[in-house]
A and B are shown apart, each in its own frame.
Chain A
């Protein structure tokens, strides 16, 4: 060890002190890299998502032709035709067939939906002319948001004329929150995925919370030290580290093939996620139960409580905030989980908003995965917007866990 000579010489001391400073800077640098990455990630996703939160509509006068809409059955009318006619009437001087087709392409195929709900709500409108905002296609939206140059010169001129005439209104993209999935970017929304997530998480929570807490109580309070208990404990720790995709294989082989449960259903997704987060909940609940001092239980014994009375009436209520904190964090994890749900068929293209735990559904993270694969630029911003929604939900859950921990958890 050559360093041990001259340890007290000023030059050596200076070197040691600068090494000390450098080491400290490395630590800060490491944290800085993690922080910068996080900041870059959030900034990138939020800035990508902004276009998806607004959309453009063109105000047009639509004549509700009684020939196309039957007053007895207003829901079955040819609203697409009406919307197209009104759209073309905005440009009476376009006569060329190819041009007309191009023009119609700038109108969203969902433009008629707003018209339909308007007339169905008030059939008295049939035969009258109404002024409604018509949704434009995703390419046109991108043009108005200065994000795309994919349109031909003619189309650009048409769209420019519309905005010069003051017919274009920019508004919040409410369809994004009220629609299910769609092949058309301007119509695609996350309501189906959000509902699917909600149903799936409800199943997960209803199964994993009681099971997890019960298992934790047994292991912490009632289990005798024997081989069976050891086996269960080793098992839980191992299960916590099994890759999530393996749980998907379990779900596919057991729930879908063996029990023949419906594919793509929130029930199966919830079951798989419940098994996935069960070890986490058990471990968190055990820690919370262990942190309650034994004196509480002994006092209960002292006044004649049975073991179960002591646990259920005294220990468990005191451990509850800790258990709930752990559970919320586990739920947050389940909410962001994607891979196992791919295995059990939650990746199907589903337009309808699921109505129950047996309906085919998808969940928000899977929706993000599906959209991220699509080539259209408008879907990219929708993917980012869906991510923003997911992150906001997760952020709220984590904040809730922190509040719970700060306000209700007791230190003994």
Chain B
């Protein structure tokens, strides 16, 4: 049953196409010596697209005004609009120009969706966040050192979350930075085509693993492993240590750092390497003294983007990091992150009027701004410091 109306409308649209096509054909044959401005198929396409647009418009209007009659309204509009327009099809009618104008507008509208999405994100997050800051002063949110949204009275101090996020991100970048960069150097400078054909898909495979899978692995395998290793050397490691989450997150961002660095290393002109070799430098000396400095802005930008990704990553930390907001810089302790709190605050039923729910939107706003600034810096670093070689 739910497919009846879409099918009906589709057949109406097809009928509209045929109608336009036929009428144009008839004009061509009927009045000898008269040439149409546009080919008959454009007359058909015009009627078809008008029919679709009418149906969509009526459907949307119907959704607002009378939800029960959406489908009927859409169907009626799909029939009426092309029927009216078909009476205006005369020999000089510029069907193609009109059709192309409509298509152009649709293309423009499609590219505006991205802008609308951003506006939607900003407005929705900002609106709820402002509601939150009406109850909780901004300063006590930003500089409070205690986070307990569910206790009574709740306290919303952002600092422990920030510290936890940064701690896990730091572990991830310490792991992934050297490994990702060295992988990129090896792939770009040393690997034979055969080795590259193995290494690149390997990293792509790693990049393609869903983070929920990495989270499962972190929580069930890596965290107990680290805990046991800690016991062996006499350290007490929390079962939800920042180290485990950070390690696995590091593995997640290796492919990102590696592929971005690979691109910028490849973009360094060969003449620089040749010049360095001609002076007698070994390959590694060339890489360290010539290639890497030349590629540095791009590499820095890759690292910043990786940090931004790690800060916004949710599933690994939800599954492997803790819930309790400890203000600790020890990677063996359990810490919590911004994304973990957003996820836990909003899972389940929500009341939009409680400060607890609203605080998730405030955290979302902070996260959005944080990643936005990081991405902007990454972009600026490349623009400002990139050497122009050509």
Contacts and interface: CB of A to CB of B under 8 A. Distances in A.
The answer to whether A and B come from one shared complex is yes
Interface stretch (A37-45, A106-114, A188-196, A294-302): A37-45
Q: How large is the interface on A (under 10, 10 to 19, 20 to 34, 35 or more residues)?
A: 35 or more
A242 B186 contact: no
Contacts of A214: 106-107, 110-111
B120 A254 contact: yes
B236 interface: no
A33 interface: yes
Contacts of A237: 375, 379
A26 B314 contact: no
Contact of B210 (A242, A249, A372, A394): A394
A16 B285 contact: yes
Contacts of A242: 121, 312, 368, 371-372
Nearest to A402: B201
B178 interface: yes
B308 A241 contact: yes
A253 B130 CA distance: 14
B31 interface: no
Contacts of A86: none
Interface stretch (B73-81, B134-142, B155-163, B342-350): B342-350
A132 interface: no
Contacts of B113: 211, 215, 275, 278
A391 B111 contact: no
Among A28, A44, A246, find the residue whose CB has the most chain B CB atoms closer than 10 A.
Answer: A246
Contacts of A408: none
A372 B114 contact: no
Contact of B180 (A30, A250, A335): A30
B228 to A, nearest CB: 15
Given A30-B179, A214-B111, A253-B128, A347 B347 contact: yes
Interface residues of B, number: 90
A306 B42 CA distance: 13
A113 to B, nearest CB: 29
A219 B202 contact: no
| Dominant SS among interface residues on chain B | helix
Given A27-B185, A27-B186, A245-B342, A336 B212 contact: yes
B100 interface: yes
Contacts of B379: 237
B347 A44 contact: no
A244 B352 contact: no
B305 interface: yes
B192 interface: no
Contacts of B212: 336, 338, 365-366, 368-369
A95 interface: no
Interface string B306-329: 001101111100110000000000
A369 B315 contact: yes
Contacts of B251: 34, 37
A16 B289 CA distance: 14
A218 interface: yes
Contact of B111 (A26, A218, A306, A372): A218
B118 interface: yes
Contacts of A332: 208
A406 to B, nearest CB: 12
Given A238-B372, A242-B368, A339 B111 contact: no
A316 to B, nearest CB: 12
B287 A250 contact: no
Nearest to B129: A249
Nearest to A28: B186
A245 B339 contact: yes
Nearest to B115: A235
A118 interface: no
A343 B180 CA distance: 32
A245 B282 contact: no
Interface string B167-206: 0000000000011111101110110000000010011111
A339 B364 CA distance: 13
A249 to B, nearest CB: 4
A19 B287 CA distance: 12
B367 A372 contact: no
B114 A338 contact: no
B118 A222 contact: no
B110 A338 contact: no
A16 B280 CA distance: 11
B182 A215 contact: no
B298 to A, nearest CB: 16
Given A33-B179, A38-B206, A235-B114, A218 B213 contact: no
B22 interface: no
B211 A336 contact: yes
Given A30-B186, A250-B117, A387 B216 contact: yes
A372 B183 contact: no
B108 A218 contact: yes
Contacts of A223: 111
A119 interface: no
A212 B114 CA distance: 9
B114 A232 contact: yes
Given A20-B283, A253-B127, A27 B183 contact: yes
Contact of B371 (A241, A253, A366, A391): A241
A253 B124 CA distance: 6
A253 B361 contact: yes
A356 B2 CA distance: 9
Contact of A249 (B104, B287, B348, B360): B360
B112 interface: yes
B233 interface: no
A365 B209 CA distance: 11
A41 B282 CA distance: 37
Interface in A358-385: 365-366, 368-369, 372, 380, 383-384
A170 interface: no
Given A338-B315, A369-B315, A34 B372 contact: no
Given A31-B183, A308-B103, 4 more contacts: A31-B202, A210-B110, A237-B375, A242-B312
28 contacts: A17-B282, A20-B285, A24-B284, A29-B182, A34-B254, A37-B251, A38-B206, A210-B110, A214-B110, A223-B111, A232-B112, A237-B375, A238-B118, A243-B311, A244-B312, A245-B312, A245-B314, A245-B367, A249-B361, A250-B120, A275-B117, A279-B114, A308-B100, A338-B212, A339-B343, A368-B213, A369-B215, A398-B205
Interface of A: 7, 16-17, 19-20, 22-24, 26-31, 33-35, 37-38, 41, 44-45, 48, 210-212, 214-215, 217-219, 222-223, 231-232, 235-239, 241-250, 252-254, 257-258, 275, 278-279, 282, 306-308, 332-333, 335-339, 342-343, 347, 356, 365-366, 368-369, 372, 380, 383-384, 387, 390-391, 394, 398
